[in-house]
Amino acid sequence: MNHFPIEFPRRAAMALFGGAVAAGALGAAPSARAAQGTRMQQVIPVPESVREAPGVRFELGPDSAIGADPAAAAVAEYLAGVLRPATGYALPTGERGDLVLRLDDAGLGQAGYRLEVTAETVTLRAGTPEGLFNGVQTLRQLLPPQIESAGPQPGPWPIPGGAIADRPRFGHRAAMLDVARHFFGVEQVKRYIDQIARYKINFLHLHLSDDQGWRIEIESWPRLTEHGGSTEVGGGPGGFYTQQDYAEIVRYAASRHITIVPEIDVPGHTNAALSSYAELNCDGVAPPLYTGIEVGFSSLCVDKDISYRFLDEVIGEIAALTPGPYLHIGGDEADATTDEQYRAFMRRALPIVRAHGKTVVGWHEYAKATPQNPAVVQYWGTDPADPEAAEVAAAAARGSKILMSPANRSYLDMKYDESTELGLSWAGYVEVADAYGWDPAAHLQGVGEESVLGVEAPIWTETLENSAQLEVMAFPRLPAIAELGWSPAATHDWESFRARLAAQAPRWEAAGIGFTRSPQVPWP
């Protein structure tokens, strides 16, 4: 599936620190100069509230230690793992230290946190380990960029004094990785997980099946991977995850407070499955494997009972391996079915997902099948005036939650401009300003803030074959989508964002993350 068709406004009431809020917090947006020069004003996503303490700074040193509540021990070890390589410091973890992680009621919800930096201590407080983990991502951006290096650097390691109170606008902030068009192995997926975690992304949607490849082992249907996983776009060797591999991805993502959302795309985008099992075809004849990028030509046989036994067994095995609440059923570009056939298929398919204990997610075409709530409709369109957008609004009116990923705003595989070597352009060119310049809660008429589950930044891989290629397409646009999902709408300011984005470049360079130097950003 690639959908490839033939100063902040002042809000005095939110002074979270109980006193006057300094400029650059809830008072005024940081200017480009401030964002380039003050690390408290460089954070992406921009925090809800920042209060600087001029002249105050904490110095991370060789005697520093991380003190954490026992329930926060895993986050403490993660923080130590971030800081040790570049500093060379031991940074022991225990109950006492000058870097303090505390689990208490910070009053900022499941994912929010409070961070206070004085000359003596750095104190991070949150109600949950997830909140502490989000605070760690902010803390690492307060350190010099060299903190992201894999080997010892000379330092020093100052952290500017002040306080931050922060929480997400939307609870669902996702990235999507297509491993079906080109296969990406476990270590490559882990690398991407670490990269998206930096920007407080908390869901990773894995597109596990398509016409070009089936990428997840199904023990009851072994030829799906033996045959269907044996190639990819362009005719390469393909690949697949064993169930143990997939469980390792799920575990690793959870250690970064990221939930995996698996997708098995049906009834279309199914040539790899149809080629693996002839009986899934209406005529009983298996088509050859497919390595092109056209879409819309394949479909499970809607009228055969075996199609639903197949779906039940596949979804059952994947659901058992997936602790998260969601399972994505695809549903897009089913051009080989009539509307009547499509609705008939969904009437039988959607209860299967629910029977296995998962909330169904589908691309926005499935809204016409009026899925029973709870259900999530993922909008990928490019024209808010399109009739399908009205169907999404109707689904929202029925109580479905809408996940926003408009292709001409959030698809990270779209070319930046005509000179971009990788990617496609069927949804248009998507520069950084395009990725940042929209409001998820105002993009579709009839889909307001209360109906939006969150945002997602998909990256399709028809033209992408390795991690380096993923990175130059994801960065710097992924942080733009992340900020739209996390930060209050009133904080969204292009001039501030582009300056803060420029300040991320030395961090990416230190971490070995490739990125595209968009001319829209004043890179250092």
Cα–Cα distance for residue pair 459/193, rounded to 1 Å:
13
pLDDT of 12 higher than 80? no
* The two structure tokens encoding residue 27: 């008072």
Cα–Cα distance for residue pair 337/357, rounded to 1 Å:
28
3-state secondary structure of 326: strand
What stretch of H or E contains 223? helix 223-226
Mean pLDDT of 445-450: 98
Lowest-pLDDT range of 99-113, 181-195, 474-488? 99-113
Which DSSP state fits 460? Answer: -
Q: pLDDT tier at 19 (50, 70, 90 boundaries)?
A: very low
**Among 148, 232, 333, 483, which one carries the catalytic annotation?**
333
* The two structure tokens encoding residue 466: 């390795």
Which DSSP state fits 47? Answer: P
Of residues 35 and 358, more confidence is placed in: 358
pLDDT of 32 higher than 50? no
In the chain, the amino acid numbered 235 is G
The stretches of 322-406 forming alpha helices (DSSP H) are: 339-355, 387-397
Mean pLDDT of 365-376: 97
pLDDT of 49 higher than 80? yes
* The two structure tokens encoding residue 74: 């895993």
pLDDT of 243 higher than 90? yes
pLDDT confidence of residue 41: 93
pLDDT confidence of residue 16: 30
* CA proximity to 50, closest of 14, 92, 1: 14
Q: pLDDT tier at 22 (50, 70, 90 boundaries)?
A: very low
pLDDT confidence of residue 36: 47
Strand 66-68 and strand 93-94: pairing? parallel
pLDDT confidence of residue 5: 36
**115-142: per-residue pLDDT in tens?**
999 999 999 999 999 999 999 999 999 9
Cα–Cα distance for residue pair 204/193, rounded to 1 Å:
8
Q: Give CA 4 to chain center in angstroms.
A: 21
pLDDT confidence of residue 463: 98
What would the 3-class secondary structure string for 29-44 be? CCCHHHHHHCHHHCCC
Cα–Cα distance for residue pair 59/88, rounded to 1 Å:
15
3-state secondary structure of 244: helix
Strand 213-214 and strand 172-178: pairing? unpaired
Q: Which residues of 422-459 are buried (b: 16+ CB within 10 A; e: fewer)?
A: bbbeebeebbbebbbebebbebbeebeeebbbbbbbbb
The yes-or-no answer on residue 59 being catalytic is no
Q: pLDDT tier at 38 (50, 70, 90 boundaries)?
A: confident
3-state secondary structure of 119: coil
Classify residue 333 as exposed, middle or buried by CB count within 10 Å of its CB (0-12, 13-18, 19+): buried
Sequence-distant (6+) residues with CB within 8 A of 236 are 182, 183, 465
Q: pLDDT tier at 105 (50, 70, 90 boundaries)?
A: confident
In the chain, the amino acid numbered 325 is P
- DSSP state string for 357-421: T-EEEEEGGGGGG-PPSSEEEEE--S-TTSHHHHHHHHHHHTT-EEEE--HHHH-TTB-SSTT--
Q: Is there a contact between 72 and 127 (Cβ–Cβ < 8 Å)?
A: no
**375-418: per-residue pLDDT in tens?**
999 999 999 999 999 999 999 999 999 999 999 999 999 999 99
Q: How many CB atoms lie within 10 A of CB 233?
A: 24
pLDDT confidence of residue 37: 54
Q: Is there a contact between 268 and 333 (Cβ–Cβ < 8 Å)?
A: yes
pLDDT of 3 higher than 60? no
Cα–Cα distance for residue pair 269/214, rounded to 1 Å:
10
Q: pLDDT tier at 523 (50, 70, 90 boundaries)?
A: very high
In the chain, the amino acid numbered 37 is G
In the chain, the amino acid numbered 260 is I
Summary mean pLDDT of the chain = 93
Classify residue 477 as exposed, middle or buried by CB count within 10 Å of its CB (0-12, 13-18, 19+): buried
Q: pLDDT tier at 66 (50, 70, 90 boundaries)?
A: very high
